[in-house]
Chain A
Amino acid sequence: AQTVTQSQPEMSVQEAETVTLSCTYDTSENNYYLFWYKQPPSRQMILVIRQEAYKQQNATENRFSVNFQKAAKSFSLKISDSQLGDTAMYFCAFMKQGYGNKLVFGAGTILRVKS
């Protein structure tokens, strides 16, 4: 079974600065996907970024980028130029490749952006 660990229950960052959220996972699979989802106070789950395990290049979406280290089973999220609207709970998630597979979530990291 797969497990996802987020070791930082809470983080804070000043507006316009950069912050990195950590995520590690455990799996025996070779083909899989990794995701970061954001859950703001509205509780809506919003996809932030997705990484395919077979790709060596780290995924990037505007101010969001990941550092994917497959051998170390590490998948951190970097948020650059933090904005107040980035304040949310962030979940790291794992999914085996192939349609119909469930997401396995970490416990989440609360990120607070301060002005």
Chain B
Amino acid sequence: NAGVMQNPRHLVRRRGQEARLRCSPMKGHSHVYWYRQLPEEGLKFMVYLQKENIIDESGMPKERFSAEFPKEGPSILRIQQVVRGDSAAYFCASSPGTGGKDTQYFGPGTRLTVL
């Protein structure tokens, strides 16, 4: 059973460009979470999605950031007009979401560098 997949692993963007981060959950998992890890800090929750629905986006910055989890395909975290402060590691996690099995399993992360 393949784990959570994220791509790209490393992404370099110039200020003002767009960044698209992809996450494919583990097989059988219908819940996806995005977390951000700034340098020297712990992970902070951004958004929680199920297929075609955003359930909780309380940790998402109000501007420039958006997320989706379409019926087909991976979940996408999109950052428009990136700034240097967006440089961080972005982690995706997935969970089955049913049967009381709430443990979240993480992907390897995408390291975004904004020049």
Interface residues of A (CB under 8 A from B): 33, 35, 37, 42-47, 50, 91, 95, 97-108
Contacts and interface: CB of A to CB of B under 8 A. Distances in A.
A82 B93 CA distance: 28
A interface: dominant SS: loop
Interface in B43-99: 43-45, 48, 50, 55-56, 59, 89, 91, 93, 95, 97-98
Contacts of A100: 31, 48, 50, 55-56, 97
Contact of A103 (B43, B50, B89): B43
Nearest to B95: A99
Given A33-B102, A91-B42, A108-B42, A102 B59 contact: yes
Given A43-B89, A45-B43, A91-B43, A101 B109 contact: no
A44 B109 contact: yes
Contact of B106 (A45, A98, A106, A107): A45
A104 B44 CA distance: 7
Contact of A102 (B41, B56, B109): B56
Contacts of B106: 37, 44-47
Given A99-B100, A104-B45, 19 more contacts: A33-B102, A42-B108, A43-B108, A43-B111, A45-B91, A45-B93, A45-B106, A46-B106, A47-B106, A91-B43, A95-B102, A99-B102, A102-B48, A102-B59, A103-B33, A103-B93, A105-B42, A106-B42, A107-B41
